[in-house]
Each structure stands twice: as structure tokens, then as C-alpha cells.
């Protein structure tokens, strides 16, 4: 008798659970995610970034992904000059009427990197600029910061993948991003093969990108002095080719591992047109500031491995990345996330550690007594860097296929130049819905 | 100019007025006549609700029908021993099927559909030999299937099949009512009563602002009788589900023995002494349908199970 009642109770709860999940809309398989991120460095840059992502799965297994993001940065950013015991005065080049300077801060760009976990490394030296006919002074002992910079960027990407056969998937995509003085366009194509009863997946991806840099005030002539500014043209460009090979292996219903290798080559203008280097005379007094100059080619490689493991209803995510390039930069990233599932709520602590060795042309200053090198940059992001991120994300399932989550992270960075030392706070709110 | 458009629109469903503020929409889906009864004041609203019901029924039919070649069931049944990725809805239904398998101790099994190849209850023809049955049994058993609900995927051994026919119609009935209610909310219909009937699997609801108000008249549901001499009982239902397991027309008579259409997946033989038809009333159509099916699978103990589980039922 009790058994029958118990069975009925089990049945009723199973029905309740099925029908309540079904009140979520399944007919349309659209998923939308909106996020708003706020990034703030102590005394430096602040960034606000609203993002909208749309995802659709078709009944034949095809998937469409669209995303649009806008970021707006403002604040103060290091110009590359060294700290001095004298008052330093800087002029910043710019086109007429452009009363703004633009640049990006390493912490912000690198914190953005934790979104892509496959092919990139923390160092990004590509997308930042400055400008504006202005003069600013920096007090003795202070880090030379370009005080009022702002930058707005719009980026759009579209990706489509479709199963060609039962075991082969093809994908194509494109992206576009634009700033007032920078334009980037990319296309990519990929192939996914599954075998071993779909327990093993091999991915091959090729991408091609073209960047166009149009700095305010023109492209500075390499190593040209701030006291006698000269320009070698109005714009420069860069082409990047990247390949990615990935293997994903399902070890058990609870564990998945992934191994990636990526190689990329870029050709063209890698220099940051707004970064300068302090030039010292024989008495080690400041003689002038010169424009930096980076090699026009870069080849980089990275390996990435990740493990996702489900246990006791929770999920642990571990990943490790090693990157090296022909500028002698090497970097390692370790990332750990633990998702604690508590019914409708989840709590996910996050830890990340990043270490980078300097590029072989990284300098803190140049000396007038020495020969001018082929390449040199004092951009702290090319120097030795160590950063640590601690954070937590809390998510709440609102039912009806909706989820809201909050993330707060603290980012701390140290490096060989004073400019590299910074603290930042990242906060983000996310809302996901399917309809 | 205001015109009253009668059903001149070219729609795959029909709508007629059957009483004061009562509309009846009809269409065909899942090999059954489907009927939507709507109690609301405006014809325009009733039409929107029937359209919405029709779309939901067709969506579920095309997604889960085993007769279609481009849906998830086809992909699972033709996966050649490889993992198949599942969407969330399919995963949830399979989780439900898994719970039914557990609670019925293996008698409710969505992999038992292959027995259709040897038991044909439509033609009332001969019965298979034990040898034929023995050849089929290795291809049956939900426990031989690897269902990984966490990663939303399934692995069927070669030659096995699944079939959601035992769940799909009841599921569609409840979900269609939900869709109607959602649509009714978005149309701003204050007091609407609805009944969804897909080939005898029924659910109904009514909405009133005052919970203590008894003014809502219940839906009256007649039960088809097998014996034409008996009068059809009428059930009054305000809200809830009703479903029937068994069908007097689906059985095999062979050498003076009647074989019911409910087959025991463990033996490959029809359940003995199962009633011709069991009708159950519960909170939802799905719950009623599953209770009726689980009870029928008990054979002679069918009625005991229904009594013990405090069910409101009708056995023929």
C-alpha cells in the first residue's frame, strides 16, 4: 500500500518537474545574454562595456552566434616615459579638433582575455593609441600618465556552424571592430571532426585579420623626438594569420579534457604610435622623449590545456596556458574556477595567475651615448609582469529559462617598471534568457 | 468598415461557436482528432488561442514523432552506436522516461517499441512465435542505453530504438494548455476557461479572480463505453487532467484468448488480465496518463494499484 503511494508521489513530482521545465519556452531556440561590465583601475582607467549576445540552435544542429559589444574607456594611461626626480612636460600629438587621447590599459585588456580560453595570451599590444594637441606635466617621482584619455570601441561578430555529415561540422565567421583611430576586420573558417563514438573531437581553425591604424597626428617616425615631431604617414596596417588545432576528449560522463595548439604570424605595424621612451644624456638627465619602434613581424605560439570535472553536483574548471613568441616574450596562465551548485543558486570562486617574461627590445629608457637600437619599447606591457586575479561569481536561476549573475574580481599586477604596478576592480552583471 | 470575418481564412484548423461564449477549435495532429474548447467572449481571441494550440501541437509532433526523418528521434535511432547530443527539452523528457522506468521496475520502457515489428494490434492478426520474441528481447532495455543527462547526450547500442509514443501525446496536451494560458495572459483575457483534448487525452483549466467563487461551470466529459448497452458516464471537471490507457479496438484475439495491446518489455508478451481500458483523473494529463499506463502494466493488480495510490479512476 505504502509502495503505491510512494510511487504515485514519485510520479507526481517527476511530472511536476518535467512540466515546470517545459513552461520555459522551447519552441524558439534563441538564447540571449546581456552583460554590463565595469572595470576600474585605481587612479587610472575606467571602462564600461555593455555586451549583447544572441545564440540560436536550429533543428538540424546548425548554430548561429551573434555578438555586439561597445566599450568606453576613460582615465589616465602610462605613456611609456620613465619616472624622474624632475617635473616632466609632455606634448601629445593629435589631429585638429580631436580633443581626446585614446589608449588602452593592460589590466583591462588582459581581464577581457579571460573570456577566450583557447588561442590568445595576456599580452595585447595592438589596439591602443593616444592623441590630442595638449601639454601635460607630471610631478617628480610620479608615473608619467597621459591624464585624459578616452576611447570608444564597437565590435560585432557573427559565427555560423553546421553539421556537414554525422561526424563533420563546418564553421565560418567574421568580425569587425572599430575605434576612432583603429579598424579591425577578421574572417575565420573551421572544421570539426568527431570520432571514437563522438568521444573525441578534433578541431581545425584558420583565421585571417587585417588591422588599420590611423593615429591622431599621423604615424610618428620611428624614434623621432618629441621636441622635433615628425610623421612618416597617416596610417599603417597589419595582417595576422592564425591557426588553431584542438583536441577535446570526453574521459567519462564527469570529465572532459581539451588540448589546443595555436600558431600565429603577424606582419606589418606593431608599434604603439602613442608610446614614447625617455632619452637620457651622458649625465643621466632627461634629454628628450622618442617614439618607440617595434619589429614589423611577430610569430607566436601557444599551448593550452583545460580540464572540466563534475563531482558532487559541482564543477571544477582548471586551465593552463603557455605562450612564446619570437620577441622572446613567454607567458604562463593558470586559471581555476569552482562552481558550487546550491539549487537555484550557484557560487563560483575564481583564481587566476599570470606571469610574463619581457620582450628582447623592452627598455626602461634609452641613452644618447649608445647607438640607437633597431627596436625598442618602454611599454610596460612588454616588460616582465605578474598578475593575480581573485574573484567570485554568484548566479541565480530565476526560472522561465532566465538567469542572472554578478561577478566581482580584484586584479593586482606587478612588473619591473613603476607603471606596471596597478590594482583594478572588475564588476559585471549578466542576464541570460531563452525565448 | 467593420466586418465579421467568418472562417473564410485558409487555416489548418477550424473554429465554430458551440455555445454562449464557447468556441470549439479543431485540427488533426499526432494521428488523433484534436479539440480545443475555449470559454471567452471574443471570437478573435478564440482564434488566436486555437492558432497557438495548433502550433504547439505541431511543434511537438514534428520534434518527437518517430515517423519523421529529420528530427531528434530519427537522429537517435539512426546513430549507429555513436553519442547523440540532445537539446534541453529532449533531455528533460528522457529524464522523465528514466524515472518511469525506475518507478515501474522496468515495465515502462521507451525502448520496447521494436516489439511492434512482431506484434501488430491494428490488424488483429496472428501472434508471434517465442523464437521471434527471443530475437527481439536483446534489443530492448532502457538500462542498456547510456543516457548522460548532465552533458545532454545519449548512446544507443546498435539496433536499438526509442519511441516517445507513450508519453508524447499527454505531454503535448499539458504543454498546449500552458501555451494557451500564456497566450491568454498576453491577450489580457480576464476569465478564460480552456479544455484541450487530443484523442481522448484531456486537460482543462479555468481562471477566475475570486477563488471562492463557484460560478465557474465545470467541463463535462463523457467516457466512451465499450459495451454499447451501458450508458456513458459523464465526469464533471473544472481543472485537471484525464487520460485513458488501453483501447477496446487494439488487441489480438487468438484461439479464444485475448491479447491486450500492452506488452511486457521484459518477456515480450502482452500483459495478462490487463483491463480493456483504464481512465484516470489527476492534476495533469501527463500524470493521469502515466498512472493509467502504470496501472495497466500491473495486469490483474491494476485496480489494487489505483486504489492504493488514491487515484480517481474508471475501469472497463
* Predicted complex ipTM: 0.83
Task: Tell the residue number behind the cell numbers 556537414, with chain if given.
Answer: A164
Integer CA distances (angstroms), A29 to A19, A63, A337, B66, in order:
18, 10, 28, 21
Is the C-alpha dihedral spanning A38, A39, A41, A44 positive or negative?
negative
Q: Domain B218-316: give its CATH architecture.
A: Roll (3.10)
Greatest pairwise CA separation for chain A in angstroms: 99
Distance from CA of A198 to the nearest CA of B (A): 6
Choose from A331-335, B147-151, B153-157, B202-206 the range with maximum mean pLDDT: A331-335
| pLDDT (0 to 100) of residue A4 | 76
**pLDDT band of B37, cuts 50, 70, 90:** very high
| pLDDT (0 to 100) of residue B149 | 84
Q: What are the backbone dihedrals phi and psi of residue A61, each rounded to the nearest 5 degrees, phi first?
A: 95, 0
Quick check: B5 pLDDT over 50?
Answer: no
Chain A residue numbers with beta carbons less than 8 Å from the beta carbon of B88 are 21, 24, 26
Quote the CA–CA distance of A136 and A125 in Å, as a whole number.
24
Q: Which of A290, A317, A292 is nearest to A306 (CA)?
A: A317
Q: What are the backbone dihedrals phi and psi of residue B293, each rounded to the nearest 5 degrees, phi first?
A: -65, -45
Task: Tell the residue number behind the cell numbers 587610472, with chain if given.
Answer: A44
Three-state SS letters, chain B: CCCCCCCCCCCCCEEEEEECCEEEEEEEECCEEEEEEEECCCHHHHHHHHHHHHHHHHHHHHHHCCCCCCCHHHHHHCCCCCEEECCHHHHHHHHHHHHHHHHCCCCCCCCHHHHHHCCCCCCCCCCCCHHHHHHHHHHCCHHHCEEECCCCEEECCCCCCCCCHHHHHHHHHHHHHHHHHHHHHHHCCCCCEEEEEECCEEEEEECCCCCCCCCCCCEEEECCCCCCCCCCCEEEECCEEEEEECCCCCEEEECCEEEECCECCCCCCECCCCCCCEEEEECCHHHHHHHHHHHHCCHHHHHHHHHHCCCEEEEC
| Pairwise CB contact (< 8 Å): A57 & B99 | no
Q: What is the CATH number of domain B67-163?
A: 1.10.3980.10
| pLDDT (0 to 100) of residue B121 | 66
Q: Which of A337, A335, A336, A341 is nearest to A314 (CA)?
A: A341
Q: Are A231 and A218 in contact (CB under 8 A)?
A: yes
Mean pLDDT of B35-49: 90
Polymer length in residues for chain A: 435
Strand order in the sheet with A276-280: A286-291, A276-280, A366-367
Strand order in the sheet with B312-315: B14-19, B22-29, B32-39, B193-198, B201-206, B240-245, B278-282, B312-315
Quote the CA–CA distance of A108 and A124 in Å, as a whole number.
10
Quick check: A238 pLDDT over 60?
Answer: yes
| pLDDT (0 to 100) of residue A344 | 83
User: Which chain B residue is nearest to residue A21, measuring alpha carbons?
Assistant: B92
| Pairwise CB contact (< 8 Å): A254 & B310 | no
Other CB atoms within 10 Å distance of the CB of residue A121? 25
| Pairwise CB contact (< 8 Å): B151 & A253 | yes
Quote the CA–CA distance of A174 and A177 in Å, as a whole number.
10
User: Which chain A residue is nearest to residue B92, measuring alpha carbons?
Assistant: A18
Q: What residue numbers bound the domain in which A340 lies?
A: 8-434
**CB-closest option in A3, A5, A198 to B310:** A5
Mutation to test the B interface, candidates A4, A194, A249, A399, most B Cβ within 10 Å: A4
| pLDDT (0 to 100) of residue B110 | 94
Greatest pairwise CA separation for chain B in angstroms: 73
| Pairwise CB contact (< 8 Å): B284 & A19 | yes
| pLDDT (0 to 100) of residue B173 | 96
| pLDDT (0 to 100) of residue A131 | 42
Percent of chain A with pLDDT over 90: 51
Looking at every residue in chain A, the average pLDDT score rounds to 84
Domain ranges of chain B: 14-62+170-205, 67-163, 218-316
Confirm or reject contact between A59 and chain B (CB < 8 A): yes
**pLDDT band of A111, cuts 50, 70, 90:** very low
- A3 within domain boundaries: no
Q: What is the CATH number of the domain that holds A60?
A: 2.40.160.40
- A149 within domain boundaries: yes
A366-367 and A385-399: which strand pairing?
Answer: unpaired
- A276 within domain boundaries: yes
Quick check: A107 pLDDT over 50?
Answer: no
Percent of chain A with pLDDT over 70: 87
Quote the CA–CA distance of A48 and A242 in Å, as a whole number.
29
| Pairwise CB contact (< 8 Å): B100 & A250 | no
Total tally of structural domains belonging to chain A: 1
| Pairwise CB contact (< 8 Å): A8 & B155 | no
Quote the CA–CA distance of A119 and A242 in Å, as a whole number.
9
More confident of the two residues B109 and A14: B109
| pLDDT (0 to 100) of residue A374 | 93
Report the alpha-carbon angle B49-A432-B53, nearest 5. Answer: 15
Question: How many CB pairs (< 8 A) connect A and B?
Answer: 94
Confirm or reject contact between A55 and chain B (CB < 8 A): no
**CB-closest option in A14, A199, A254 to B99:** A14
Q: What is the pTM of this model?
A: 0.60
| Pairwise CB contact (< 8 Å): A10 & B103 | yes
Q: Which of A346, A433, A427 is nearest to A52 (CA)?
A: A433
Quote the CA–CA distance of B240 and B285 in Å, as a whole number.
7
Q: Which of B289, B290, B298 is nearest to B260 (CA)?
A: B298
Q: Are A107 and A163 in contact (CB under 8 A)?
A: no
Quick check: A99 pLDDT over 80?
Answer: no
Least confident interval from A4-8, A255-259, A419-423, B302-306: A4-8
Per the structure block, which three cell numbers stand in for A385? 609582469
| Pairwise CB contact (< 8 Å): A1 & B308 | yes
Chain A residue numbers with beta carbons less than 8 Å from the beta carbon of B150 are 253-254, 310
Return residues 11-40 of A near B (CB < 8 Å). Answer: 11-12, 14-15, 17-19, 21-24, 26-27, 29
- A237 within domain boundaries: yes
Amino acid at each position: 500500500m505504502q509502495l503505491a503511494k510512494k510511487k504515485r508521489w514519485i510520479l507526481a513530482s517527476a511530472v511536476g518537474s518535467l512540466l515546470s521545465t517545459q513552461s520555459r519556452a522551447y519552441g524558439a531556440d534563441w538564447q540571449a545574454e546581456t552583460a554590463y561590465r565595469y572595470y576600474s583601475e585605481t587612479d587610472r582607467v575606467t571602462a564600461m562595456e555593455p555586451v549583447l549576445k544572441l545564440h540560436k540552435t536550429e533543428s538540424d544542429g546548425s548554430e548561429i552566434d551573434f555578438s555586439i559589444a561597445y566599450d568606453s574607456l576613460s582615465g589616465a594611461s602610462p605613456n611609456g616615459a620613465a619616472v624622474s626626480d624632475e617635473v616632466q612636460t609632455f606634448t601629445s600629438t593629435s589631429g585638429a579638433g580631436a580633443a581626446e587621447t585614446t589608449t588602452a590599459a593592460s589590466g583591462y585588456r588582459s581581464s577581457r582575455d579571460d573570456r577566450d580560453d583557447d588561442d590568445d595570451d595576456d599580452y595585447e599590444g595592438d589596439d591602443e593609441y593616444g592623441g590630442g594637441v595638449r601639454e601635460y606635466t607630471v610631478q617628480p617621482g610620479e608615473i608619467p600618465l597621459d591624464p585624459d584619455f578616452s576611447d570608444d570601441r564597437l565590435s560585432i561578430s557573427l559565427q555560423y556552424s553546421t553539421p556537414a555529415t554525422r561526424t563533420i561540422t563546418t564553421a565560418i565567421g567574421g568580425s569587425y571592430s572599430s575605434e576612432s583611430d583603429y579598424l579591425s576586420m577578421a574572417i575565420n573558417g573551421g572544421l570539426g571532426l568527431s570520432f571514437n563514438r563522438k568521444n573525441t573531437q578534433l578541431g581545425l581553425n584558420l583565421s585571417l585579420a587585417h588591422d588599420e591604424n590611423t593615429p591622431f597626428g599621423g604615424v610618428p617616425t620611428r624614434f623621432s623626438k618629441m621636441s622635433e615631431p615628425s610623421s612618416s604617414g597617416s596610417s599603417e596596417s597589419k595582417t595576422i594569420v592564425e591557426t588553431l588545432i584542438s583536441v577535446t576528449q570526453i574521459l567519462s560522463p564527469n570529465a572532459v579534457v581539451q588540448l589546443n595548439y595555436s600558431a600565429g604570424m603577424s606582419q606589418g605595424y606593431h608599434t604603439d604610435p602613442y608610446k614614447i621612451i625617455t632619452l637620457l644624456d651622458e649625465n643621466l638627465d632627461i634629454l628628450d622623449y622618442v617614439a618607440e619602434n617595434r619589429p614589423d613581424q611577430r610569430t607566436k605560439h601557444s599551448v593550452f590545456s583545460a580540464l572540466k570535472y563534475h563531482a558532487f553536483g559541482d564543477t571544477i574548471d582548471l586551465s593552463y596556458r603557455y605562450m612564446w613568441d619570437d620577441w622572446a616574450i613567454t607567458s604562463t596562465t593558470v586559471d581555476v574556477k569552482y562552481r558550487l551548485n546550491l539549487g537555484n543558486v550557484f557560487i563560483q570562486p575564481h583564481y587566476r595567475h599570470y606571469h610574463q617574461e619581457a620582450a628582447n627590445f623592452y627598455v626602461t629608457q634609452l641613452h644618447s651615448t649608445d647607438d640607437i637600437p633597431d627596436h625598442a619599447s618602454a611599454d610596460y606591457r612588454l616588460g616582465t609582469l605578474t598578475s593575480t586575479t581573485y574573484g567570485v561569481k554568484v548566479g541565480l536561476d530565476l526560472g522561465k529559462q532566465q538567469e542572472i549573475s554578478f561577478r566581482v574580481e580584484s586584479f593586482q599586477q606587478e612588473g619591473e617598471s613603476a607603471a606596471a604596478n596597478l590594482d583594478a576592480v572588475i564588476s559585471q552583471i549578466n542576464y541570460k534568457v531563452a525565448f | 468598415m467593420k466586418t465579421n470575418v467568418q472562417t473564410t481564412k485558409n487555416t489548418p484548423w477550424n473554429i465554430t461557436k458551440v455555445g454562449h461564449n464557447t468556441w470549439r477549435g479543431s485540427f488533426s495532429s499526432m494521428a488523433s482528432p484534436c479539440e480545443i474548447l475555449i470559454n471567452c467572449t471574443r471570437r478573435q481571441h478564440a482564434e488566436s488561442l486555437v492558432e497557438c494550440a495548433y502550433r504547439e501541437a505541431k511543434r511537438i509532433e514534428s520534434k518527437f514523432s518517430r515517423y519523421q526523418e529529420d528530427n531528434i528521434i530519427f537522429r537517435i535511432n539512426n546513430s549507429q552506436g555513436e553519442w547523440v547530443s540532445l537539446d534541453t527539452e529532449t533531455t528533460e523528457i528522457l529524464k522523465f522516461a528514466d524515472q518511469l522506468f525506475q518507478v515501474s521496475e522496468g515495465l515502462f520502457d521507451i525502448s520496447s517499441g521494436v516489439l511492434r515489428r512482431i506484434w501488430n494490434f491494428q490488424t488483429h492478426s496472428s501472434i508471434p512465435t517465442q523464437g521471434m520474441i527471443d530475437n527481439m528481447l536483446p534489443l530492448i532495455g532502457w538500462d542498456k542505453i547510456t543516457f548522460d543527462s548532465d552533458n545532454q547526450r545519449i548512446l544507443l547500442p546498435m539496433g536499438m530504438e526509442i519511441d516517445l509514443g507513450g508519453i508524447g501525446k499527454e505531454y503535448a496536451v499539458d504543454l498546449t494548455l500552458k501555451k494557451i494560458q500564456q497566450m491568454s495572459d498576453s491577450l489580457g483575457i480576464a476569465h478564460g476557461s480552456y479544455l484541450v483534448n487530443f484523442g481522448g487525452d484531456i486537460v482543462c483549466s479555468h481562471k477566475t479572480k475570486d477563488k471562492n467563487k463557484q460560478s465557474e461551470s465545470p467541463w463535462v466529459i463523457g467516457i466512451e463505453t465499450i459495451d454499447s448497452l451501458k450508458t456513458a458516464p459523464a465526469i464533471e471537471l473544472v481543472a485537471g487532467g484525464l487520460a485513458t490507457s488501453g483501447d477496446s479496438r487494439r488487441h489480438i484475439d487468438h484461439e479464444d484468448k485475448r491479447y491486450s495491446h500492452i506488452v511486457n518489455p521484459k518477456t515480450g508478451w502482452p500483459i495478462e488480465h490487463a483491463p480493456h481500458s483504464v481512465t484516470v483523473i489527476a492534476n495533469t494529463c501527463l500524470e493521469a496518463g502515466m498512472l493509467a499506463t502504470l496501472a495497466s502494466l500491473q495486469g490483474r493488480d491494476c485496480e489494487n494499484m489505483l486504489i492504493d495510490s488514491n487515484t480517481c479512476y474508471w475501469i472497463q
